[in-house]
Amino acid sequence: MALSGSAGQESGPGVNAKLWRFHGGVHPPQHKAESTGAPVRRARLPKRLVLPLHQHIGEAAEPVVVKGEQVLKGQMIARANGYVSAAVHAPTSGVVLDIGDYPVAHPSGLSASCIVIESDGEERWVERTPVEDYTAINPSHMRNMIREAGIVGLGGAGFPSFIKLNPGPGKVVDTLILNGIECEPYITCDDMLMRERPQDIIAGIHILRHALQAKECVIAIEDNKPDAYRIMSEAVASEEKIRVALCPTIYPQGSEKQLVQVLTGKEVPSNGLPIHVGVVLHNVGTAYAVHRAIHLNEPLISRYVTITGDAMGQTCNLEVLFGTPIIDLLDECAADMARLDRLIVGGPMMGFAMHTVNAPVVKTTNCVLATTTQAMPAAQTAMPCIRCGACMDVCPVNLLPQQLYWHSHAKEFERAQEYSLFDCIECGCCAYVCPSNIPLVQYYRYAKAEIWAQEREKDRADLARRRHEFRIERMEREKAERAARLQKKKADVAAGGTKQKGDDKDSKKNAIQAAVERARVKKEAVTNEADPSSEVEDSDKKLD
Amino acid sequence: MKLRTPISPHIHIRTTVTTVMLRVVAALIPGIVVYAWLFGAGVVINILFAIAVALTCEALMLKARGRPLRPFMSDGSAVVTAVLLAVALPPLSPWWLTLIGIAFAIVVAKHLFGGLGHNPFNPAMVAYVMLLISFPREMVLWAPPTALAEPPLDLMETLRAIFLGHYPGALSIDALSMATPLDQVKTQLGLEQSVAQTLAASPAFGILAGRGWEWINLAFLAGGVWLLRKRIIGWQIPVAMLGALAAMATIFYVIDPEHYASPLFHLLSGAAILGAFFIATDPVTAATTPRGRLIFGAGIGILTYVIRTWGGYPDGVAFAVLLMNMAAPTIDYYTQPRVYGRK
């Protein structure tokens, strides 16, 4: 595979390592240079910070502070609720103003529970206990520390990191991949982090390797980041079993499964995880956060955020405290609010357009992309699909997007599943190249949502049906038993006539006798008890 | 301030359906130029008239179906259908033949089946077959290449011939026309003549195949290769179709060269090249998976040879395409590519 660009000539480790290709992929315009001109600086301290309780995949965190409470920088304000969850910490010192619903960065545009902190401007930290030697801590305790620090995957998905650091019993981690691909156009926060904090990332890698007992580590960087590649290569020069892989730029290479294929040639099974092929992936930003959490005992309270787009007066990367309202960043970077048309959180391929400028930056906010209609004109009218297959040629999962579209459009969801709908990673390559301008991803999300809804409905219906069947069965059984009893009674009446009463007394007497007998037998031989008891049980029933 | 909130992706390449269609038309131009050079102005007149009829029918049908005119009139699909059918008609076809054919293609084969993207059969080929069955005489009256015609018709004579049915002097259309090379081979083989005798005896044959036809087909080939390079079409259908046709022809030619024409003759005669690059590759009606396209193309190649050799018509591309159009959905279903991470 040809390595293009000046970076290819660098003699860093990993240059000669074999790389594989994944199917398809696209090459959208990069727009990376706009935001890499200046060093990263800290964003202004906001007056109010809005911290959603749900900034990650899994259960929302549970508040551990109350309204009016004083908090310190780094103090936990909401704890993880269950296994798949992450804690939230106060990004600065101040007072809890409110706990309630506020607008958040979510495609739905709905509000969600947040803790609002008014900063006092003093940035007073909680007491911290940095770890001198991470090797002295056992992996399990290490994972717990990372969990307590509220660290989630910083590449965009926000899956709690400690879970991915627990490969499970019997699983061997051959390769730890540090994802510095950053394949989405416009976004450069990982690029800048690698350029500015190589040693901290390496320190984080050491901790991750220790927790995972990984055999080797590969830092993957696309060849559109020659500076980051050079700096990281120099940083790992003296390291053992850590190398840097320079990957030819192609979207969506940063997607977990695609990157595993590029670096190892292995495919992660459908519905499986990278660990099933001996690989664990973490974002470079996550490694940096882990380093800070362990070596400095700082929880995750800020991140690098790319501020870019043609509506932005100043394009750059900022270190932003979580909870900082996006409007503050727009202000600070002199956004042209009159021409602002689309405000995207994330990149142009997979990011979502926000309904409001008031939502806060959260753990997964890697980029704030403010554009005008000039850079991103409204989509043209969608034309019918002509089945040209351009989507199929670029699908990184090797799906048939044209068939998925056809069946999703016709609401033939079972057919769509036959075409592996749920293997779709929603990377947007298909919609990006579609000559008919069909919003394909929208159709797939719709189909998936409908199928989930149908399955839930089916589960409910199944449960109701099982209950109903069970009830019918029980009622029939009872009816049959009643009928049998009645029959027996009638037969007894017919046979016994006046003797019936006496018989009844006799049977009671017999039963009592049997019980007495049983007690006696039990006393005599504790081991021998099965037969008489069952007999007595039978006679008991008849007495009812 | 109102923020727009479309779903991702937020960026898009420039290619549209119109781009795709216009590139197909552009790729047809070299072939059309050679065709017109060899067969006279009738070729171009047919095409222009066909485009006018196609756009009129398209507009009427869009209106009748309540579809927006602007995006669909400018998508270029009607133009492609018109050009493809027009180049398949004899150069001096009367105007009404073109009119009926195009109207049938656009109204019946395209819009009555749901319009762009929904027609199961290639509209140009449906119309061609309809004309071939309904007007067999007009459909085989091919004027000879101008080099063989004595004297060739000028522009006004051509216009009069097409639109008024007036031919220069006392000539009739029958006198002006001659059988196409494929037709001639078929007829002569029926008369117990060998292929070699037929080729040697008639002035209609050139170096590689039919005189003139060989150059037209090479020009269409050039356009097709350009479409491949521009990634407007995939390689699978043309390669599979021409490969299968050549393979069939080679087998029988090797067995019995007296009674079977050479592979080269088959490739460069009739609509083989045009069909492989421009007709069979119509994405709407073709198979869509990579392996499916190979099967689809090979099927057309085999059927074309079968119809040409043992069927009742001299050329079989149109029938072969329609037959394989029918099979496309099934082919697609059974040729799904292996999805990432699945066995």
DSSP string of B104-146, one letter each residue: IIIIIIIGGGTSTTT-SS-HHHHHHHHHHHH-HHHHH-PPPPT
Whether A385 and A428 share a structural domain: yes
**pLDDT at residue B155, as a whole number:** 81
Helix (H) or strand (E) holding A49: strand A48-52
Give dist(CA B174, CA B94) in Å, integer.
13
| Look-up of token digits 């009427």 | B60
Give dist(CA A121, CA B302) in Å, integer.
81
Q: Give the number of C-alpha atoms closer than 13 A to the C-alpha of residue A169, restricted to the C-beta side.
A: 0
The string of pLDDT tens digits covering residues B265-323 is 899 888 899 999 999 999 999 999 999 999 999 999 999 999 999 988 878 899 999 99
Q: Does B138 reside within a domain?
A: yes
Give, rounded to a whole angstrom, the gap between the first and last alpha carbons of chain A.
85
| Look-up of token digits 């690029």 | A191
Q: Does A423 reside within a domain?
A: yes
pLDDT over 50 at A7, yes or no = no
Give, rounded to a whole angstrom, the gap between the first and last alpha carbons of chain B.
51
Comparing CA positions, the residue from B306, B291, B301, B308 lying closest to residue B324 is B301
Residue B257 has φ and ψ, to the nearest 5°, of -65, -20
Residues of A in contact with B13 (CB under 8 A): 432-433
Whether B276 and B304 share a structural domain: yes
% residues pLDDT > 70 (chain A): 92
Comparing CA positions, the residue from A218, A212, A262 lying closest to residue A20 is A262
Whether A156 and A214 share a structural domain: yes
Whether A256 and A161 share a structural domain: yes
Interface contact A109-B284, CB threshold 8 A: no
pLDDT over 70 at A505, yes or no = no
- The per-residue pLDDT of chain A, averaged, comes to 89
Interface contact B16-A272, CB threshold 8 A: no
Rounded (to 5) percent helix, strand, coil in chain B: 65, 0, 35
Whether B132 and B220 share a structural domain: no
Residue A80 CA: distances (Å) to CA of A87, A91, A153: 4, 17, 15
pLDDT over 90 at A300, yes or no = yes
Q: How many CB pairs under 8 A join A and B?
A: 165
Domain range holding B47?
14-177
Are A101 and A54 a contacting pair, CB within 8 Å?
no
Q: Pairing between strand A62-63 and A70-71?
A: unpaired
Whether B295 and B222 share a structural domain: yes
% residues pLDDT > 90 (chain A): 78
Whether A288 and A359 share a structural domain: no
Q: Does A184 reside within a domain?
A: yes
**pLDDT at residue B179, as a whole number:** 64
Comparing CA positions, the residue from B312, B327, B247 lying closest to residue B280 is B327
Whether B164 and B42 share a structural domain: yes
Whether A285 and A308 share a structural domain: yes
**Residue B337 tokens, joined:** 């590519």
DSSP state of B245: H
Whether B27 and B111 share a structural domain: yes
**pLDDT at residue B270, as a whole number:** 84
Mean pLDDT of A106-125: 92
Interface contact B10-A344, CB threshold 8 A: yes
Whether A14 and A155 share a structural domain: yes
Q: Does A126 reside within a domain?
A: no
* Model confidence band, residue A540 (pLDDT cutoffs 50, 70, 90): very low
Whether A344 and A461 share a structural domain: no
Give dist(CA B46, CA B12) in Å, integer.
38
Give dist(CA A19, CA A262) in Å, integer.
5
Task: Select, from the ranges A339-343, A518-522, B171-175, B196-200, the one with the highest average predicted confidence (pLDDT).
Answer: A339-343
pLDDT over 60 at A303, yes or no = yes
Residues of A in contact with B71 (CB under 8 A): 381, 383
Give dist(CA B159, CA B46) in Å, integer.
10
**pLDDT at residue A107, as a whole number:** 81
pLDDT over 50 at A444, yes or no = yes
Whether B257 and B146 share a structural domain: no
Comparing CA positions, the residue from A7, A20, A27, A38 lying closest to residue A225 is A7
Domain range holding A332?
326-371
Whether B197 and B322 share a structural domain: yes
Residues of A in contact with B10 (CB under 8 A): 342, 344, 348-349, 351, 353, 371, 376
More confident residue, A534 or B335: B335
DSSP string over B149-198: SSSPP-HHHHHHHHHT---STT--HHHH----HHHHHHHHHHTT--HHHH
* Model confidence band, residue A306 (pLDDT cutoffs 50, 70, 90): very high
Mean pLDDT of B64-91: 93
The string of pLDDT tens digits covering residues A430-440 is 999 999 999 99
- The per-residue pLDDT of chain B, averaged, comes to 88
**pLDDT at residue A340, as a whole number:** 95
Interface contact B9-A441, CB threshold 8 A: yes
Interface contact B17-A390, CB threshold 8 A: no
**pLDDT at residue B140, as a whole number:** 77
- Tell me how far the alpha carbon of residue A224 is from its chain's centroid: 28
* Model confidence band, residue B1 (pLDDT cutoffs 50, 70, 90): low
Whether A452 and A540 share a structural domain: no
Q: Does A303 reside within a domain?
A: yes
More confident residue, A105 or A394: A394
Whether B143 and B33 share a structural domain: yes
Whether A137 and A231 share a structural domain: yes
Longest dimension (CA), chain B: 84
Whether A278 and A384 share a structural domain: no
pLDDT over 50 at A9, yes or no = no
Whether A315 and A331 share a structural domain: no
Whether B36 and B126 share a structural domain: yes
Interface contact B5-A403, CB threshold 8 A: no
Q: Say whether residue B3 is in contact with chain A using an 8 A CB cutoff.
A: yes
Are A71 and A83 a contacting pair, CB within 8 Å?
no
Whether A146 and A239 share a structural domain: yes
Predicted complex ipTM: 0.88
Interface contact A357-B3, CB threshold 8 A: yes
Residues of B in contact with A439 (CB under 8 A): 6-7
The string of pLDDT tens digits covering residues A225-263 is 999 999 999 999 999 899 999 999 999 999 999 999 999
Residue A81's SS3 state is: coil
The string of pLDDT tens digits covering residues B230-272 is 999 999 999 999 999 999 999 999 998 888 888 988 998 888 9
% residues pLDDT > 90 (chain B): 63
* Model confidence band, residue B169 (pLDDT cutoffs 50, 70, 90): low
Q: Closest to A423 (Cβ–Cβ): which among B11, B290, B339? A: B339
Whether B276 and B185 share a structural domain: yes
Q: Tell me which chain B residue has its CA closest to the CA of residue A338.
A: B1
User: B48 CB contacts (<8 Å, ≥6 apart)?
Assistant: none
The string of pLDDT tens digits covering residues A157-214 is 899 999 999 988 888 999 999 999 999 999 999 999 999 999 999 999 999 999 999 9
| Look-up of token digits 């060998």 | B194
Q: Say whether residue B105 is in contact with chain A using an 8 A CB cutoff.
A: no
Residue A112's SS3 state is: strand
pLDDT over 70 at B159, yes or no = yes
User: B20 CB contacts (<8 Å, ≥6 apart)?
Assistant: A386, A388, A435, B76, B232
Are A535 and A515 a contacting pair, CB within 8 Å?
no
Give dist(CA A359, CA A111) in Å, integer.
9
Give the end of a domain, one of B177, B198, B232: B177
Give the end of a domain, one of B177, B192, B209: B177
* Model confidence band, residue A525 (pLDDT cutoffs 50, 70, 90): low
- Range 9-38 of B in CB contact (< 8 A) with A: 9-13, 15-17, 19-20
Whether B154 and B280 share a structural domain: no
Number of domains in chain B: 2
Which H, E and C letters describe A403-450, residue by residue? HHHHHHHCCCHHHHHHCCHHHCCCCCHHHHHCCCCCCHHHHHHHHHHH
**Residue A117 tokens, joined:** 């902190």
**pLDDT at residue B163, as a whole number:** 83
Q: Closest to A383 (Cβ–Cβ): which among B5, B12, B71? A: B71
pLDDT over 90 at A304, yes or no = yes
Is the torsion defined by CA of B8, A155, A399, B275 positive or negative?
positive
**Residue B124 tokens, joined:** 């140009």
Q: What angle do CA A40, A41, A44 make, to 5 degrees?
A: 145
Q: Does B73 reside within a domain?
A: yes
pLDDT over 80 at B209, yes or no = no
Q: Does B340 reside within a domain?
A: no
* Torsional class of A247: left (φ above 0), alpha (ψ -120 to 50), beta (otherwise): beta
> For position A32, which CATH number holds?
3.40.50.11540
User: B295 CB contacts (<8 Å, ≥6 apart)?
Assistant: B240, B287, B331, B335
Residue B117 has φ and ψ, to the nearest 5°, of 90, -10
Q: Does A69 reside within a domain?
A: no
**Candidate from A8-12, A287-291, A331-335, A357-361 with smallest mean pLDDT:** A8-12
Give dist(CA A120, CA A73) in Å, integer.
10
Q: Does A124 reside within a domain?
A: no
Give dist(CA B230, CA B222) in Å, integer.
12
Q: Does B1 reside within a domain?
A: no
Q: Pairing between strand A70-71 and A94-103?
A: antiparallel
pLDDT over 60 at A45, yes or no = yes
Are B208 and B214 a contacting pair, CB within 8 Å?
yes
The string of pLDDT tens digits covering residues A264-274 is 999 999 989 99
Give dist(CA A261, CA A264) in Å, integer.
5
Burial of B287 (0-12, 13-18, 19+ CB in 10 A): buried
The string of pLDDT tens digits covering residues B130-148 is 999 999 888 877 766 665 5
Q: Does A468 reside within a domain?
A: yes
Q: Tell me which chain B residue has its CA closest to the CA of residue A349.
A: B9
Residues of A in contact with B9 (CB under 8 A): 348-350, 428, 431-432, 441
Residue type, A480: A
Give dist(CA A346, CA A71) in Å, integer.
30
DSSP string over A155-211: TTT--BHHHHT---TT----EEEEEE---STT--HHHHHHHH-HHHHHHHHHHHHHH
Number of domains in chain A: 4
Residue A349's SS3 state is: coil
pLDDT over 60 at B340, yes or no = yes
pLDDT over 70 at B208, yes or no = no
Whether B222 and B325 share a structural domain: yes
Residues of B in contact with A381 (CB under 8 A): 68, 71
Are A114 and A100 a contacting pair, CB within 8 Å?
yes
**Residue B239 tokens, joined:** 């390669």
Residues of B in contact with A330 (CB under 8 A): none
**pLDDT at residue A508, as a whole number:** 73
| A175 Cα to chain B: minimum distance (Å) | 18
Residue A343's SS3 state is: strand
Give the end of a domain, one of B161, B177, B193: B177
